[in-house]
A and B are shown apart, each in its own frame.
Chain A
């Protein structure tokens, strides 16, 4: 393996224009496999979800999963694609033990969806259109475990073990057209595209698209051409880049590596490369000895898929609002900045805030609790916001208690703590812990009188018109009531008693 000195990113971009192609595989969330009724449930015992069809036994026959086709059409429509009126499956022949059939059932020159686009929004709000070449239906492969090598990798392994539970799970492969014109923002566009696609897939409800679970995987094709050139350079294909951050890093690394090779007079090999999470580098995978020769031919065991125009229009009518459009709408409704909205999205809080608002909270309060106290607690616990043991309805109740003056923020935090600790609904926690703002006007009045008496000099200043000084008295009252008073009401009482207009 040769180590290439990288060229700095800026230097690379000063000379070359990157061209990218992104291939994303999405595992659909169907209950059964694409061509047989075996379950797709995760975590089952090895080889407990197989049948003669997905094991490639002679005489077995595949039948297409209707939900698989429906999901493919929905994805195609959401990507603004044309939907084929008639298309077929094809056999992609190759010898590798991850497919017991020795071919993968895929689609070749007749994809179910083609010619679309996805608009993605970069962090500063700029919108970049990524054009879609095609989206086609295929099936996942089995899972290999390599035994005997030092690192569990295929190199040096003495033999391999195969679990075919995953073989045949429906996949949709989504391929972009060459992405040009992104320049130095190419890695950012790649990341934003995959992120937007993931949101879209989730919004469609066709997959949970969890990259860490392998439900969504990305291959990054990248080449460089001299600025102003029209002919694309030779590309490398970095396989299985499986997080958003990695997509950006892989693109960036390949830009720097290609630039180094090209500017020293070398040529880029068309090859598969592996991405390494540890340092963000890529290394050469197999160099293709001979051109890929999959001998695609139409799958004789499956009849064509011909989605009727009526059905396609029915599905189009069920499409949800596109995630980017929805985010922009919510951003305006909530009155937050692009940057804040990005943080909310990154925190996985969009749907939680929406649900909290639907449960009766106002937008500002819902956002404040999810992005403040709850985000902090999720972070401490090392979990997602959605995994916290509190529902949007419970958060909305906390917001309501604060709004009606029964709780102040400090007490509300204790209520949230109680709910998270499993002490019950907010109202139960309030009762059990005795967390109620002192709203007994008599008791509060006494506390205010005492504070005024104990701070005569401050009281005089307020009487003289220096209203800002009231803060010190509010503090004293809050201390005396151990924080269980409504600070706004305390302030009102102080000003009232001193005869000053707030």
Chain B
């Protein structure tokens, strides 16, 4: 029986940088378990002859020619940045002291 445990939800939350409280973990673990169970029922009807799909459109090889198109200006690119310095996106410390 597919499903998801509270520990797995906590792990995914950490990977996704989501801070969840204990009661939120309980709550989401239960909800996600129900959702996964519902989606898993697709497997019941999909037989060997039904390949898994990652895309609803029956298309392949959609490509564009290697031609330069205008970019945003640096001002436009940085307009939504919470912080900037030297025309670059400024981000908080990545690693703490060793």
Contacts and interface: CB of A to CB of B under 8 A. Distances in A.
A binds B: yes
Interface of A: 30-32, 36-39, 45-52, 55, 63-69, 86, 88, 93, 95-97, 100, 144-147, 154-164, 293, 295, 297-300, 302-307
Nearest to A302: B62
Contacts of B72: 50-52, 55
Nearest to A28: B66
Contacts, number: 136
A405 B55 CA distance: 73
B4 interface: no
A31 B68 contact: yes
A32 B67 CA distance: 6
A157 B95 CA distance: 8
Contacts of B71: 38-39, 48-51
B15 interface: yes
Nearest to A67: B66
Interface string B31-66: 000000000000000000000001101011111111
B74 A46 contact: yes
A297 B52 CA distance: 12
A307 B63 CA distance: 12
Contacts of B91: 97, 159-162
Contact of A300 (B55, B65, B87): B55
A158 B95 CA distance: 9
Given A31-B68, A305-B61, A157 B93 contact: yes
Interface residues of B, number: 37
Nearest to B88: A161
Contacts of B11: 293
Contacts of B68: 31-32, 37-39
B63 to A, nearest CB: 4
Given A46-B74, A55-B77, A66 B55 contact: no
A47 B15 contact: no
A46 B60 contact: no
A140 to B, nearest CB: 16
Nearest to A94: B15
B22 interface: no
B69 interface: yes
Contact of B15 (A93, A96, A299): A93
A96 B93 CA distance: 11
A95 B86 contact: no
Contacts of B54: 88, 297-300
Contacts of B88: 46-47, 145, 161-163
Contacts of B90: 159-162
A-side binding surface: helix, strand, loop or mixed? Answer: loop
Contacts of A161: 85-86, 88-91
Given A52-B72, A293-B15, A300-B55, A63 B62 contact: yes
Contact of A47 (B16, B65, B77, B93): B77
In order of increasing CB-CB distance, the 3 nearest A-B pairs are: A37-B69, A298-B54, A161-B88
A155 B67 CA distance: 40
B87 A37 contact: no
Contacts of B57: 303
B90 to A, nearest CB: 6
Nearest to B60: A306
A63 B94 CA distance: 31
A37 B55 contact: no
A32 B94 contact: no
Nearest to B74: A47
A306 B59 CA distance: 10
Contacts of B97: 155-156
12 contacts: A32-B66, A37-B69, A38-B71, A48-B73, A51-B72, A63-B63, A67-B65, A97-B91, A159-B85, A161-B90, A162-B89, A162-B90
Contacts of B78: 47
Nearest to A36: B69
B19 interface: no
B2 interface: no
B17 interface: yes
Nearest to A154: B95
Contacts of A38: 68-69, 71
B67 A45 contact: no
Q: Which of A32, A65, A297, A303 has the most CB of B within 10 A?
A: A303
Nearest to A40: B68
A197 to B, nearest CB: 23
B98 interface: yes
B68 to A, nearest CB: 5
Contacts of B73: 48
B94 A157 contact: yes
A157 B94 CA distance: 8
A66 B64 contact: yes
B74 A48 contact: yes
B89 A63 contact: no
Nearest to B57: A303
A284 to B, nearest CB: 11
Contacts of B74: 45-48
A429 to B, nearest CB: 42
